[in-house]
Amino acid sequence: MTEAATTLSPAPRARVQAMKEYHPPLGCRDALRLDFNENTFACSPKVREALGRVSAGSLTRYPEREPIEAIIAAHLGVAAQQVALTNGVDEAIHVLFGAFLEAGDELLLPVPTYTMYEVYVSATDARAVTVQAADDLKFPYERLLAAITPRTKIIAIANPNSPSGSIATREQLLEIARRAPHAVLLVDEAYFHFHGETVMDLVGVVPNLMVARTFSKAYGLAGLRLGLLAGPVELMRWVRRVLSPYSVNSLALACLPAALDDATYLDWYVDEVIAARAEFESALDEAEVPRWFSRANFILVEIGPQHTEFVRLMKAAGVLVRDRSGDPGCDGRVRITIGTREQMAKAIVALNESMATLRAGKGAR
Ligand SMILES: Cc1ncc(COP(=O)(O)O)c(C=O)c1O
């Protein structure tokens, strides 16, 4: 390419130029994936059947999401106009930020938290204001309240939070919404099923509250990319203006009613994870690996300076876990997704072996 051609190459916004590309780690054959907080087992068999019923003809047509939005709204106990299905919660975050954040606005975030909030704010002209959790990684409630300014436009709180597992109580969330009436409070309930507490019932009651849910975790549909955003009609209509009408594909829409119908499967999986979480916590305690409290389908553990080697040893033992050392306040910490009890029994063997190797000083330095 000539120099002139290089100079003429269209430049993206400066904010985008400053961003790093995000390449999620890839899986490897036969490894147990405990690095993405997905359902580690399967979706409901009813979803598989629904997939099988999708006709080739139906794939020729653009998907119609409104009838399915009415079904999910009834399931959640909100009005159809209060909910929008999205291409995963990621799209909900992207679209919400795009609809509300202007130059000079602030996105308020307790950190560490879900990485994509900072990615999507970078696609706007607003800036992120972060509130660092203390070393116990508990939800920094008081400091978050103190960080609210007239410029705060969105406050995003994952509840439970990833990677820390920390929890904001309903009272705390209500108080935050009350103290920032000029801002949207987004409560991201991606891990709701493992925690069991929600503020979905306050949608439309608290005028600035929006709630996101995903089908990627407990429901086991991460590959279909399906999430939702719920909020008061007055806020949802702005979101709908910028939401693609076809971003949720026909396969996802065909599967959603079947997923909702199979409460037995969902309950089984959630109970299984909660039982496995307790067993894994005991194993961590026995192995003297410090851990953070979690009400989600993952646990953050303290490995220390040998975190990279720990992740490598776990991988060599067939278990993928996620090094969170790059997250603010998380140096030396690794996040481990909780799967079924059988899967976690394998993870416990890998954990014990890896820790023994590290403690014997046999790991690479
Ligand atoms: C807090 C939180 N929100 C949203 C997501 C992404 O959800 P989805 O797969 O629906 O885009 C994740 C995924 O890890 C998450 O941890």
* pLDDT above 80 for 121: yes
The CA distances from residue 355 to 73, 303, 365, in Å, are 47, 9, 14
Is 227 touching ligand 1 by the criterion CB < 6 Å? yes
Per residue in 197-246, pLDDT tens?
999 999 999 999 999 999 999 999 999 999 999 999 999 999 999 999 99
Which bin fits 280, alpha (ψ -120 to 50), beta or left (φ > 0)? alpha
Instruction: Give 237 Cα–ligand 1 centroid separation in angstroms.
Output: 23
Instruction: Give 211 Cα–ligand 1 centroid separation in angstroms.
Output: 13
The pLDDT score that the predictor gives to residue 199 is: 98
The pLDDT score that the predictor gives to residue 3 is: 57
My answer on whether omega of the bond before 305 falls inside 30° of 0, hence cis, is: no
Average pLDDT estimate for 134-150: 97
Average pLDDT estimate for 240-263: 97
Average pLDDT estimate for 71-95: 98
Please give the mean pLDDT across all residues of the chain.
95
Instruction: Give 222 Cα–ligand 1 centroid separation in angstroms.
Output: 9
* pLDDT above 80 for 362: no
pLDDT band at 4 (very low <50, low <70, confident <90, very high): low
Is 37 touching ligand 1 by the criterion CB < 6 Å? yes
Which residue ranges make up each domain of the chain? Answer: 3-42+264-359, 46-261
The pLDDT score that the predictor gives to residue 72 is: 98
* pLDDT above 70 for 152: yes
Work out which ligand 1 atom sits closest to the CA atom of 216: 9
Straight-line distance from the first to the last Cα atom of the chain, in angstroms, rounded to the nearest whole number: 43
* pLDDT above 70 for 5: no
Bigger pLDDT: 303 vs 30: 303
Is 86 touching ligand 1 by the criterion CB < 6 Å? no
Instruction: Give 339 Cα–ligand 1 centroid separation in angstroms.
Output: 17
Instruction: Give 294 Cα–ligand 1 centroid separation in angstroms.
Output: 16
Tell the CATH topology of 3-42+264-359: Aspartate Aminotransferase, domain 1 (3.90.1150)
pTM above 0.85, yes or no: yes
Percent of the chain with pLDDT over 70: 97
Is 190 touching ligand 1 by the criterion CB < 6 Å? yes
Is 157 touching ligand 1 by the criterion CB < 6 Å? no
Instruction: Give 357 Cα–ligand 1 centroid separation in angstroms.
Output: 33
Composition of the chain by helix, strand, coil, percent to 5: 45, 15, 40
Per residue in 299-331, pLDDT tens?
999 999 999 999 999 999 999 999 999 999 999
The pLDDT score that the predictor gives to residue 317 is: 96
Q: Which residue has the tokens 């938290």?
A: 113
The pLDDT score that the predictor gives to residue 28 is: 78
* pLDDT above 90 for 23: no
Positions of E strands within 262-353: 298-302, 319-323, 333-337
Probe residue for ligand 1, chosen from 35, 97, 116 as the CB with the greatest number of ligand atoms within 8 Å: 116
The pLDDT score that the predictor gives to residue 26 is: 81
My answer on whether omega of the bond before 328 falls inside 30° of 0, hence cis, is: no
Q: Look up residue 79 and give its amino acid.
A: A
Percent of the chain with pLDDT over 90: 90
Report whether 228 contacts 92 (CB < 8 A): yes
pLDDT band at 193 (very low <50, low <70, confident <90, very high): very high
| Atom 7, ligand 1: residue with shortest CA distance | 89
pLDDT band at 30 (very low <50, low <70, confident <90, very high): confident
The class that CATH gives domain 46-261 is: alpha beta
The pLDDT score that the predictor gives to residue 25 is: 80
pLDDT band at 18 (very low <50, low <70, confident <90, very high): confident
Instruction: Give 66 Cα–ligand 1 centroid separation in angstroms.
Output: 23
Q: Which residue has the tokens 């070393």?
A: 135
Is 294 touching ligand 1 by the criterion CB < 6 Å? no
